[in-house]
Structure 1
């Protein structure tokens, strides 16, 4: 006798679901596609699970978007999930970025867990459409959206070292760390927030409203300027940057912004939603109030206001 289907969320009609899975990403693994199929089978909707293949990512994403599902679930790293959300845009299908990467900042903010199976069930059973804000970085030749955070300046050079250390490549981690040390304090950024007078900083961090602890929803990006006075202070900031509320550090100043201009004497190292890039010596960032629509449980504060 077939088991009774679990009830789908009452907040939005869901009849067609597509789930994209990158088995090589972060915490996903080769069995994830099969496990996802088993979970989706518990719900009364037409669903298909697609394992992303190297060299076919772009085509598979296009095919999924062209199919116009009610919800497009993504189990992949932050960068892949962000790319898919950007392509869906505010007028595309609902997107549910499940925690399949390393940091999983956006999935944790949306679903309150780093367990992708639990996040999947929460989205299916409690999800409602939510507009997600973000930012867009452009240097004239390169454009990329972000929904968590973007880091500009020499501290961004530590990202490759951190990633190499995470994957156990100690020699490569040391080489990246040595390069970061050589670049540190070689030249400060100059930046302007909302066309105000230029300021200088060792690094600038822009944080989306979804992630920020300081911003009200969708009022702008949180801009945090880092100005360590020496190498030891910079190391202290680096140590607190991920785990602690480093905005309380006296070497960090924050404010809300919707448009940012950045320049430097040389190429600008950056980390955009966990992906390291090298930008040209000038770049701009703009706030996007409605970047895409997510399927996620309504936050308690929003429920109380209804």
Structure 2
């Protein structure tokens, strides 16, 4: 597949500090895909039949999780059907739970299991409630904020609203929170090896990441605009974005133009002490289609999981992957 032809340049919007809306998209962007209408927050979802799938092998879940889940639900007069599984049987548990036709499917597991549940349920299936039961917990943190799963469960049963969950798709791989394309994605394998205590492997992967970092630049276009270069391209889904409405109808694309270790350290500091988007090495804007290419295979991190793409990849916005029971944005 050849790189896309040079398109007519368009004026780049300024870095956005408030909510991103579709009016910020360039005039030569693909046709707008309307997000599904969000139910009124005044209408409480029906939660008569609840299924729960829990990965009890996860350190953040544990064998006592089913009893804790039952206790929380009992306070709300709900008796869930709970499937406590190890990773090998988790997909079968999800399929069986969805086949029973619940109003709500609660998933207490990692991001990969939450994504699997979302894809199996689809927009016509049950509401999904992804609780923090993994390592990174990117989707639970986006939907409920950074809080323990038991607290998040109580809040969603009290305040939860139905939201369509938009995401992205890149070469057949879906992501529901964020995709990182470029050399920064190479740090994920080193981090995972260190988490498992495999220090020699972690060191080797860190050396590889350092060797690749700041050398392999990406070329990309956003919504048919001009060709640009960046060290990495981050694409965030509306639910996870701090500067987009949940129904914005586009992904937030952030180009990271880091030149050397000094700028990388500065970006890291900004990520800790304030919104990383205000760093001068970051340029962000909305987009529905991104085309990315490189002289080498493109490393990617999709919702915390490492994927190796080819030399050319296309990212597309998907407006309605499933329905989630989320907290109001101001409560996350």
The alignment's TM-score, normalised by the length of structure 1, stands at: 0.87
Partner of residue 149, structure 1: 178
CA offset at residue 16 of structure 1? 0.8
**What's the counterpart of residue 176 of structure 1?**
205
Bigger CA drift: 70-79 or 279-288? 279-288
Q: Match for residue 49 of structure 2?
A: 16
Counterparts in 2 of 1:90-109, with a 5 A limit? Answer: 90-109=123-142
For residues 178 and 330 of structure 2, the distance between their equivalents in structure 1, rounded to whole angstroms, comes to 24
Q: Does 1:158 align with 2:187?
A: yes
Which structure has more relative contact order (CA 8 Å, sep 6+)? It is 2
- Corresponding position of 2:5: none
Q: 3-state DSSP class of the match of 2:300?
A: strand
User: Is the contact made by 1:108 and 1:114 (CA closer than 8 Å) also made in structure 2?
Assistant: yes
State the alpha-carbon separation in 2 of the partners of residues 117 and 269 from structure 1. 35
Structure 2 SS opposite 1:55: helix
Indicate if the aligned counterparts of 2:142 and 2:177 stay in contact, CA closer than 8 A.
no
| Segment of structure 1 superposing worse, 32-41 or 275-284 | 32-41
Q: How far apart, CA to CA, are the structure 2 residues paired with 1:298 and 1:18?
A: 23
Matched, 1:278 2:308: yes
Partner of 2:116: 83
Aligned pairs for 1:213-252 within 5 A: 213-219=242-248, 220-238=250-268, 240-241=270-271, 244-252=274-282
Moved more, 154-163 or 100-109: 100-109
Q: Give 1 or 2: higher strand fraction.
A: 1
Q: How far, CA to CA, are the matches of 1:199 and 1:299 in structure 2?
A: 33
Q: Aligned equivalents of 1:256 and 1:215: distance in 2? A: 9
| 1:131-146 superposed matches below 5 A | 131-138=164-171, 143-146=172-175
Q: Deviations over 1:255-275 (max 9, x none)?
A: 110111111122111110111
Compared CA separation, residues 106 and 246, structure 1 to 2 (3 A): same
How many residues matched? 289
Distance of aligned partners of 1:239 and 1:22 in 2 relative to their CA distance in 1, 3 Å threshold: farther
How far apart in 2 are the matches of 1:232 and 1:166?
A: 26
CA contact (8 A) 1:104 1:114 kept: no
Contact preservation (8 Å) 2:54, 2:108: yes
Aligned counterparts of 2:275 and 2:190: Cα–Cα separation in 1: 22
4+ residue runs of structure 1 moved beyond 4 angstroms?
238-244
Deviation for aligned residue 1:10:
6.8
Partner of 1:60: 93
Aligned partner of 2:214 among 158, 182, 185 = 185
Please give the TM-score of this superposition, normalised by the length of structure 2: 0.80
Partner of 1:5: none
Distance 1:300 1:189 in 2: 35
Deviations, residues 48-100 of structure 1 (Å, cap 9, x unaligned):
11112333222221111111110000011122112211221211100001112
**Where does structure 1 lack aligned partners over 5 or more consecutive residues?**
1-8, 302-306
Instruction: State the partner residue of 1:116.
Output: 149
For residues 137 and 218 of structure 1, what CA distance do their matches in structure 2 show? 20
Unaligned runs of 5+ in 2: 1-41
What is the match of residue 292 of structure 2?
262
Q: CA distance change for structure 1 residues 187 and 246 in 2, over 3 Å: closer, same or farther?
A: same
| Contact 2:183/2:299 (<8 A) preserved | yes
Any idea what SS the aligned residue of 2:120 has? helix
In structure 2, which of residues 57, 68, 89 is the aligned counterpart of residue 35 of structure 1?
68
With 20-29 and 70-79 compared, the bigger mean Cα shift is at: 20-29
